[in-house]
Structure 1
């Protein structure tokens, strides 16, 4: 676990947190949250209080570091780890799945880990208001627009939690660029994963860590872009999750931070012409064989919920599935989670680059069920593990 430095400020049970209703202004959409350009973010003269404006909640202010962070999806837990706040997280989506998957990546980063065993699972019985009052968090990393769609929640409930427990900060619908629910459309904005990460970093006063990690991410993007083959030489691919005789199928190159590990790689989406109501759809074996992608990326394959070996056996032994080129050519690969934060994104970008373009980025060594992220030869890594670990642990 990474401990944050409390020596600068006296620890308190709760800082004074406020949430306003303003709309995001300034340069957040440009990804320039570094305190040097217009962002709609401010810091108090003594460096204690910080404020950031993020749609749809508007202004969120924090006077002291939060000691308890409520997180629904792991992208926010991953952000907390990246910024030195792993010990503050008190909940995450299916902890045994999210936490173990996150640690598959952190295993490659010296001094970085995530203690998930005692965390609450916020959606185990729907999003329960009682749980939020019980946890008594200092900030809720969750989008109130999304919360408004959950069973049993009213706008009055959302306001009451904000005013009597702690504010909300999050942006769920940037994940797919889907339309926000009624009542939020006029104050909604869409952000990239790293723009949203920058806002969280600003609120927590960790702009230096953010800038350092963003530089690594930007350099990695430049490396990828410089080595990508021409479009007419790229493989066709699909991202799927195998169900009971069907494939839950996801687009590769559409907008949204859930695709932050596939869109930059520009593979040819075998189902690009399919228009599903959301980011995903359902296809059968016959449709998969008709599309016959060169590469099959199996989402959730590195989580404990799926066995990569079993998925491969199921496809190979299916009378139709065995005809898939990706199966016969050993190009069915385990993937991580679409709910990715910045650290997860670095690893998942590297992984997907190798799975799609082994000639350009080095061969993917494969994944063994239950094991951590596999070892990559140092000269074939797309980012410096040691540097990332130093930034997260504060030893940079």
Structure 2
């Protein structure tokens, strides 16, 4: 395995890209979906299961691990990989999303962000340098700059202020990260839904010659069409030979549409969160297992799936577990959802390699449109 961080673009089909990120801890096949392991765990899953489903990399959260159990403690225990028994690549976010989502508990200035813990009210300071320090203590393989993410819609002046601050924080984050040959720090393009601000942000980040680039500040309240238009306007400015990561996205359709526009990496809590709330993603589209029509349905969710949870358990049993709030229901549906997401990514990778991505996209969309309407 390489001792360097490298990205190799292996095939393209239209704007869709098939590549590989290689790092000392492993190879990430792209397009890739990264399950979210907020507190060092992918909720309702064993990490061995996550790996077996085809996940090359998972995501950890700086803010939550900073609060519990603490980055210094994780470092003393051997780093996040050893702590969680995941020897493969890990990407950590910077805590920037919490700048937005926990706005009532924070103060922000040029230096950084001061948080009050949502757990006990203890005050913490998170600067670009401290965020990188925490990620170094966690020993993650891909680290993110600290940025300010704001909800849309917003006024242009506010979007521009946050974008310029994020650029200054990117410079400080890169300086704090330094030169780590086997690891990478990604910059984050901001600029809301304003095309010239997005382009300015992307151009200035590209000039920093970072190892990868992320598109942040999307899936925060804007319609999908706005998100896709933003990608179409922004991606041409970013270097083609560096990985492109769309943060916090999204539904299976979001992934399919974004890969078609040139995105390489994704993360989202959606498949795990939906599973814990009775919603399954499948080649038939979304299936709400709370719906009473499943109560007497002996069929599996998807008899063609390689995932035992989708193939071997009846819809009636899954419905029963969900309606009774049994923990097993959330576990099985999370397993089903992550399996479907990884199968979707594998299908896209194969289609790009074969030069038939457009056909794969149309076939997948047709399956979702048909839905699961077969009679019992």
Same fold (TM over 0.5): no
Structure with more strand by fraction: 2
Normalised by the size of structure 2, how large is the TM-score? 0.29
Normalised by the size of structure 1, how large is the TM-score? 0.28
